[in-house]
Chains A and B, each alone.
Chain A
Amino acid sequence: MAIYDLLVSPFAEFEFMRRALVGVVGLALGAAPVGVLLMLRRMSLIGDAMAHAILPGAAIGYVVAGLSLFAMTSGGLIAGLLVALVAGGIARATELKEDASLAALFLVSLALGVVIVSVRGNSVDLLHFLFGNVLALDNATLVLIAVVATVSLLVLALIWRPLVVESVDAGFLRSVSRSGGPAHISFLALVALNLVGGFQALGTLLAVGIMILPAVISRFWSRDLTAMTVSAVGAGIISAYCGLLVSYHAGLPAGPAIILFAGMVYGASVLFGRFGGLLRGWGARRHLEA
């Protein structure tokens, strides 16, 4: 029964644990595939910038309407999209590389968001904005997460082919089709949507973790896009489950525990990953020397 106590009973006994698990698994379903494409399109930093940009947007929603899920979600969504578009615009209009303008934007958004939250709220509210509260997901939030995951998978199915072709060979897609632009914009919208979906559970700072970490983990385990996407979702789900368990047994904050667990899987993948794992390469060289 020890194994049952260790692995199952926290979820069987406590509803908040079940809700947290369902919530983060739902997030992983939508965010991990988005993260894989984000990584392959070399846009990981855009994910980061949008995550930070969501903070002032959600904070304005909070100042206007209090702790209303709808107001905070729409505020965050608008701000996230705005930053993605503005960053793209700045990079095109100036000599600054896109990543530099993004770094500038997300620092400013973070500071702005903290100031806005502090105007009305207290430090507990601020912590909630920054790191979420995965153990206090209400029905509305779970529905929001489910909607985000559903919309993400449906939209990804629609724009998958142009996104993939554009990532491999943008010139080719431009020469045969005009779908590259609309696909890219829809994709950015998906990134913002998933970050907003993760905002209540993981906060603006950690929401991007459930998107990017599973993606970079998957890179070490597969060389095929489909398998990579599936393994990213798997890594997200495993991190959600194990992270929650660790947080329950060790009394750690749940959101950071989930991201930390994903970080440990990433570390293990760096060392032992099937493709590009450091120790694997070392083993192969030793084998050749022998």
Chain B
Amino acid sequence: MAAHLRFRDLTLGYDRHPAVHHLTGEVEEGAMLAVVGPNGAGKSTLFKGIVGLVAPLSGTIDRDLSVRDIAYLPQAIEIDRSFPINVYDLVAMGLWRRIGAFGAIGKTEREWIHGAIAAVGLTGFERRPIAGLSGGQLQRVLFARLLLQDSRLIVLDEPFNAIDERTVTDLIALVRRWHSERRTVLAALHDMNLVRRHFSQTLLMAREPIAWGETGFVLTPENLMKARRMCEAFEEAAAECAVAAE
């Protein structure tokens, strides 16, 4: 089977300060990969690299689809929740690849939008402004938008942080549905129980990959401890590698 994503000695960062070091590996089509690691481990940076928002400092990422075709869920804090837009319009953004800046939303598209809103359990919320939603409701809205993006590769940056349990259960069900449809799902997660229960593959990182493979073999106490120690010492490591990269 062809590799969907391939990293070759990938280093990513901002202003020449690397946040992800020397990552090599492949994500296969249809994989369900959890990316775990302490805060500041470079998970978000890796995802931004995958969707093309951060360019590699060195190494390469090969994708067998255009970055514009990846469905990417950034962390919810990046959304301006005070903006006067309602649930329906925010979900409709998921059709961008299809309708672009000028395309009309016709009958078919309207049905899709209502379908996606129903799939996340928010029927009846269409006209609500996003300012009035709870964190869990907003995350449901964003998942509805992902549904409309209809992508083969879905990248979720901490999708379940500070979200109520009921919402996590419902949204995990959507993620499992994507998996059964042979879509590739990458998710940055903090809840190890969730990872063990639902994700067959795990990448544990702390600025550089600690372990990558079957979840059971990756999430050992030794590996987790190592990740935590490496993240605490990252300042020196970053300086070191910046010199090495030049």
Contact of A167 among B53, B72, B83, B102 (CB under 8 A): B83
Which of B18-26, B74-82, B174-182, B188-196 binds A?
B74-82
The total of interchain contacts (Cβ-Cβ below 8 angstroms) comes to: 65
Asked whether A165 lies within 8 Å of B93 as measured between CB atoms, the reply is yes
CA distance A76 to B80 in the complex (A): 33
Is A176 in contact with chain B by the CB < 8 A criterion? yes
B68 beta carbon closer than 8 Å to chain A = yes
Interface of A is mostly: helix
User: Shortest CB–CB separation between residue A42 and chain B, in angstroms?
Assistant: 8
Selected from A165, A171, A222, A224, the residue in CB contact (under 8 A) with B78 is: A171
Contact-size category for A? 20 to 34
CA distance A159 to B51 in the complex (A): 24
Chain B residue nearest in CB terms to A229? B84
Point out which of A158, A162, A167, A171 has the most chain B C-beta atoms below 10 A from its C-beta: A171
Query: A161 an interface residue at 8 Å Cβ cutoff?
Result: yes
| A169 CA to B81 CA, complexed, in Å | 9
With A175-B72, A176-B68, A176-B96 given, is the CB distance from A222 to B80 under 8 Å? no
Residue from the list A167, A170, A175 in contact with B67, Cβ < 8 A: A175
Once the chains bind, are A168 and B83 in contact (CB under 8 Å)?
Answer: yes
Q: Which A residues lie within 8 Å of B78 (CB)?
A: 169-171
Residue pair A171, B74 in contact (C-beta under 8 Å): yes
Q: A174-B53, A176-B68 are in contact. Are A222 and B97 (CB under 8 A)?
A: no
User: Judging by beta carbons under 8 Å apart, are B93 and A224 in contact?
Assistant: no
B70-112 vs A, Cβ < 8 Å mask (1 yes, 0 no): 1010100011100111100010010011001110000000000
Q: Are B84 and A175 in contact (CB under 8 A)?
A: no
Given contacts A169-B80, A176-B96, contact A162 B85 (CB under 8 A): no
Q: Which residues of B contact A (CB under 8 A)?
A: 51-53, 67-68, 70, 72, 74, 78-80, 83-86, 90, 93, 96-97, 100-102, 129-131, 145, 149
A-B contact pairs, 24 of them (CB 8 A): A40-B83, A158-B101, A161-B102, A164-B85, A165-B96, A168-B80, A168-B83, A168-B93, A169-B74, A169-B79, A169-B80, A169-B90, A169-B93, A170-B78, A171-B53, A171-B74, A172-B93, A174-B53, A176-B149, A177-B101, A223-B84, A223-B131, A224-B84, A225-B83
